[in-house]
Amino acid sequence: MYNPKSHKAEEFIDHNEVLETLKFADKNKSNIKLIDEIIAKAKLEKGLTHREAAVLLTCNIKEKNDEILSLAKKIKEKYYGNRIVLFAPLYISNYCVNGCVYCPYHSKNTTIPRKKMTQEEIKKEVIALQDMGHKRIALETGEDPVNNPIEYVLESIKTIYSIKHKNGAIRRINVNIAATTVENYKKLHEAGIGTYVLFQETYNKESYEKLHPTGPKHNYAYHTEAMDRAMQGGIDDVSLGVLFGLESYLYEFSALLMHAEHLEAAYGVGPHAISVPRIKPADGIDPDTFDNGIDDETFCKIVACIRVAVPYTGLIISTRESASCREKLLALGVSQMSGGSKTSVGGYDNPSEEDKESAQFEVSDRRTLDEVVNWLMKLGYLPSFCTACYGSGRTGDRFMEICKKQQIHNFCHPNALLTLKEYLVDYASPLTKLTGEELIKTEIDNIQDENIRKITVENLSKIETGARNFKF
Ligand code: SF4
Ligand code: SF4
């Protein structure tokens, strides 16, 4: 029985409710009256239920689909302006005891070189990331209680935060590790992580069990209830995601929104962010063997429908996607993206690691961070390296409250300018620096509050003379 407040996976992601939602959406895919009502509700920017959002995603009327896309753009502009927050993944170990059939790190893959970085190697990797200009990372590791115990993850977090190379610093570590216990989530919280990230991969239990035939990840309920345990462990910023291509996208989309509704109903705070990865080629993995692949057009519509369904939730896109696809998705609702990513263990300090077939997936966007920053600015976006909320205690429901009152812009915008300025002074190529300085000059005028504008201008010049880490 569907119950968003329940703590049982099979009740908050009730299979029958998903099937009923798909039926309801299919029945109403040409129902202009209902579609108009849902669009009108979406325009209030308070979000949609999973059933309403599924109707929009299924809608087959061209004019209505255009309306949905343009509403997504409007909401994106209103809540996120032209800012795009940048981050990089950091893979510390690819040892894994699980059997996920779509991932080259699965335990039966004997051809992939296995690697676990020592703290000294992590240090070098972090220095390489800092030298690129990154301030925010997503720490990634396979599940292996012997090789990657929680102590190893905690020690690595400590190492990463401790490294201050030149003007560099990693100021926010989001963590993407396997589902674990409340005790371990408490430890991660105490270690000062930003967001806990865990992709569901697929919400369809039957498919989930087939795609995860061996290892602890086989347990659907334990995996699906991980965010509940993370919240109980004190982590109030969690990030959801599915791997599009494994199951029917409509099923995943509806269940993903049900998961968001569950977190809101049970803990009073929805997901901080949602990631939308699509399955990609990797060592021994051919995406064509999964028959639920989605084309770019459908993918754009999924992103737009997520944007209108959960306006306050960040939307993340990785370098799995090509530059041209990322460009389309940016306009429709994406607020964060990775740049200059390496998906192998040790790939930043030693780029040849990336060529040893040890990467988790093939990166489509292979540009450097500087190229991505420059490209974003040329498209009219404001690249941001901001991590301020985490350092200022604006997390969980405190963060959501500010978002819902539409006040987060007052923090994000000046912080984007300050962190972009740091990037330009410390790391940018001459061309990027030139473009960026012009952009900052224009964007200062878009700070509405006179006092904040004044402080921002002062701090921008202090950055020129060596001061760092100003934030609102
Ligand atoms: Fe291991 Fe994660 Fe890959 Fe599964 S997806 S094999 S858990 S690294
Ligand atoms: Fe993100 Fe907060 Fe910075 Fe805005 S101010 S970009 S929400 S960390």
What pLDDT digit, counting tens, does each position of 66-107 carry? Answer: 999 999 999 999 999 999 999 999 999 999 999 999 999 999
**Is ligand 2 within 6 A of the CB of residue 130?**
no
Q: Please report, for residues 189, 210, 372, the alpha-carbon distance to residue 327 in angstroms, rounded to integers and kept in the order given.
A: 34, 34, 11
H or E element that contains 240: strand 238-241
- Domain covering 77-366 assigned CATH 3.40.640.10 in the classification: no
With a cut of 90, say whether residue 408 has pLDDT above it: no
DSSP, collapsed to helix, strand or coil, labels residue 363 as: coil
CA-closest residue to ligand 2 atom 4: 412
With a cut of 90, say whether residue 283 has pLDDT above it: no
How would you label 442-459 residue by residue, b for 16+ Cβ within 10 Å and e otherwise?
ebeeebeeeeebebbeeb
What separation in Å is there between the alpha carbon of 346 and the centre of ligand 1?
Answer: 17
User: What is the position in ligand 1's atom list of the atom closest to the CA of 217?
Assistant: 7
Ligand 1 binding pocket, CB closer than 6 Å: 96, 98, 100, 103, 105-106, 142-143, 178, 217
Q: Are 97 and 349 in contact (CB under 8 A)?
A: no
pLDDT average, residue stretch 159-177: 97
CB atoms within 10 A of CB 471: 16
pLDDT average, residue stretch 240-263: 97
* Cα–Cα dist 462/6, whole Å: 51
How do residues 322-365 score in pLDDT, each as one tens digit?
Answer: 899 999 999 999 999 999 999 999 999 988 766 556 677 778 88
| Ligand with an atom nearest the CA of residue 316 | 2
CB atoms within 10 A of CB 258: 21
User: What is the position in ligand 1's atom list of the atom closest to the CA of 106?
Assistant: 6
Model confidence, pTM: 0.96
With a cut of 80, say whether residue 294 has pLDDT above it: yes
Which pLDDT score is estimated for 344? 92
* End-to-end Cα, the chain, rounded Å: 45
* Closest C-alpha among 392, 393, 453 to residue 418: 453
Which pLDDT score is estimated for 55? 98
What separation in Å is there between the alpha carbon of 294 and the centre of ligand 1?
Answer: 22
CA-closest residue to ligand 1 atom 6: 106
Which pLDDT score is estimated for 354? 63
* Cα–Cα dist 398/306, whole Å: 22
With a cut of 90, say whether residue 287 has pLDDT above it: no
CA-closest residue to ligand 2 atom 2: 389
| Ligand with an atom nearest the CA of residue 109 | 1
User: What is the position in ligand 2's atom list of the atom closest to the CA of 416?
Assistant: 6
Which pLDDT score is estimated for 402? 87
How do residues 202-219 score in pLDDT, each as one tens digit?
Answer: 999 999 999 999 999 999
Q: Is the dihedral of CA 296, 256, 96, 212 positive or negative?
A: negative
Report residue 239: phi and psi, to 5°. Answer: -125, 125
Could you list the beta-strand ranges (E) of 49-129.
Answer: 83-93
User: What is the position in ligand 1's atom list of the atom closest to the CA of 212?
Assistant: 4
Q: Where is average pLDDT lowest: 144-148, 241-245, 402-406? A: 402-406
**Is ligand 2 within 6 A of the CB of residue 220?**
no
Which of 217, 242, 279 gets mutated to test ligand 1 (max ligand atoms within 8 A of its CB)? 217
CA-closest residue to ligand 1 atom 4: 100
CA-closest residue to ligand 1 atom 2: 142
**Is ligand 2 within 6 A of the CB of residue 411?**
yes
What separation in Å is there between the alpha carbon of 43 and the centre of ligand 2?
Answer: 24
Which pLDDT score is estimated for 217? 98
CA-closest residue to ligand 1 atom 5: 103
Q: Tokens 């030298």 belong to which residue? A: 131
DSSP, collapsed to helix, strand or coil, labels residue 449 as: coil
